[in-house]
Amino acid sequence: MFKRALIDGFKWSTKWYLGSFSTAIATFFFFNKYLEFDTIRSIRYGVALFFVSFLVKTIIQYVKLIDQLETKIEEKDQQIEILNSRKEKKKQLSVSSFYGESIIILKEIFSNFHYLRKHESIERKQMMTSLIYLCNGLKELFEKRFNHNYSICIKVLGPDSDLENLTVHAEVITLCRDEKSYKRRSVPNGIKHNIFDNTCFNEIFHNIDTTSKSYYLNNDIVEDKYYKNTSFNVYGELPNDCHTAEERRKNWTLPYKSELVVPITPVTTLAHTERKKQFLGYLCVDCNETDSFHNKYDVEMLKGVADGIFDIIKHSYKKQ
């Protein structure tokens, strides 16, 4: 910048004082003609005047360039601020859009259940159709936010479970899945899933009476070396020498890396009623990528869904 100011100052001084032959003569012999200095002294003063003018013009030009630079920086900052504001606005609109879509999709889902509740008898086929529609809708909803592969399933307590005296050894079976996941995930006969041998089911079961704690969210189950899941019997166990997160990630076998599970039970129960006695199973969402769930909004939304399907599923237990 200073170099540019020097060049501009030199160009200006040269043009002003040496722009033509007559101008140059006037510069160097001004003091000789009008102040009667001798020729050598007049030339010296002329040269001094040239350099003083050159320095003054350089300083003025340098200050001017600094002002221009500050103006450009301010304009750039304003542009960046506007750009950031637009990005933030788009981000906020995107978030608002997602939860707005949630309301629409959930409204459509629960309209089916409200229709079923109006009937005294509910056919199992009708119930299953509505539950599968629910799973499909939730999958569609979660995949609107991220370009990940989500899987939704509803797991209930096995037919031999004593609902009044449940233990951690109670069997859990898959009632239904979203249609796309159903095609990809088939469980071989003979493999049983129970509460105790699955971290997500076990933690929820032991916290079922505390509404705020009765859910399981893990946005990176690969790194959790204490994570247990009977699905390893289906997809393959991790090698015994997988001790680090990097080794576990390299050898991971399950088709999902993050998981959100809530109990199928009323969010609010009567004061004298134990939530464990109103517990029928689990609503499960998993994803093939890490960091796929919001630790507040997704949890509360899924709890509300589980609460909404509780009485429909309970109806099927009454018929058994």
Tell me, yes or no, whether 92 lies in a domain: no
Q: Does residue 212 share a domain with residue 128?
A: yes
Asked if residue 88 belongs to a domain, the reply is no
- Contact, 303 vs 262, CB < 8 A? yes
CB 102 within 8 A of CB 116: no
The tally of CA atoms less than 13 A away on the side-chain side of residue 107 is 6
Q: Which candidate, 200, 167, 173, places its Cα nearest to that of 187?
A: 173
Q: At what angle do helices 124-145 and 297-318 cross, to 10 degrees?
A: 170
- Tell me if 108 is assigned to some domain: no
Query: Quick one: what percent of the chain has pLDDT higher than 90?
Result: 37
Domain stops at, among 82, 108, 139: 82
Is residue 103 in some structural domain?
A: no
Identify the band that residue 107 occupies on the pLDDT scale cut at 50, 70 and 90.
confident
Element (H, E) at 79: helix 39-117
CB 155 within 8 A of CB 172: yes
Q: Residue 318 has what pLDDT?
A: 53
pLDDT in tens, 178-225: 999 887 776 666 788 999 999 999 999 999 988 889 999 999 999 999
- Is 290 part of a structural domain of the chain? yes
226, amino acid identity: Y
- Is a pLDDT exceeding 50 seen at residue 8? yes
- 3-class secondary structure, 310: helix
Find which of 40-44, 93-97, 242-246, 254-258 is predicted with most confidence, using mean pLDDT. Answer: 254-258
Residues 78, 133: one domain? no
| Region of 36 on the Ramachandran plot (φ > 0 left; ψ -120 to 50 alpha; else beta) | left
- pLDDT band, residue 252 (cuts 50/70/90): very high
Answer with the one of 58, 82, 106 that is the final residue of a domain: 82
- Does residue 93 belong to any structural domain of this protein? no
pLDDT surpassing 70 at residue 100 = yes
Domain of residue 36 covers: 2-82
The C-alpha atoms of residue 57 and residue 17 are separated, in whole angstroms, by: 13
- Same domain for 74 and 131, yes or no, is no
Q: Which residue has the higher pLDDT, 5 or 170?
A: 170
Q: What is the mean pLDDT of residues 137-165?
A: 90
- For 186, phi then psi, to 5°, come to -120, 130
161 and 77 belong to one structural domain: no
Residues 54, 132: one domain?
no
According to DSSP, the residues that pair with 154 across neighbouring strands are 176, 283
Please state the pTM of the whole predicted model.
0.69
Residue 247 lies in a domain: yes
The 3-state DSSP class for residue 185 equals: coil
Q: Are residues 64 and 131 in the same domain?
A: no
pLDDT of residue 286: 96
SS3 308: helix
Q: 70-95, pLDDT tens digit by residue?
A: 777 777 666 666 555 556 555 554 55
Q: Backbone phi, then psi, for 27, in 5-degree steps?
A: -65, -50
Q: Total structural domains in the chain?
A: 2
CB-based contact 264:309 (threshold 8 Å): yes
Which one, of 304, 284, 294, lies nearest residue 199 by Cα?
Answer: 284
In this prediction, residue 127 carries a pLDDT of 87
Same domain, 44 and 193: no
Residue 138 shares a structural domain with residue 267: yes
CATH number, domain containing residue 137: 3.30.450.40
Quote the pLDDT of residue 83: 56
Of 82, 109, 143, which one is at a domain's C-terminal end?
Answer: 82
Contact call for residues 10 and 54 (beta carbons, < 8 A): yes
Confirm if 267 and 123 have CB atoms less than 8 A apart: no
In a domain, 91, yes or no: no
Q: Is 151 in the same domain as 63?
A: no
Closest CA to 197 of 215, 172, 175: 172
Confidence at residue 25, expressed as pLDDT on a 0 to 100 scale: 53
Asked whether residue 295 falls in the same domain as residue 234, the answer is yes
In this structure, the answer to whether residues 245 and 134 fall within a common structural domain is: yes
By the 8 A CB rule, do 223 and 259 touch? Answer: no
| pLDDT, position 47 | 59
* The predicted structure's pLDDT at residue 271: 56
pLDDT higher than 90, residue 99 = no
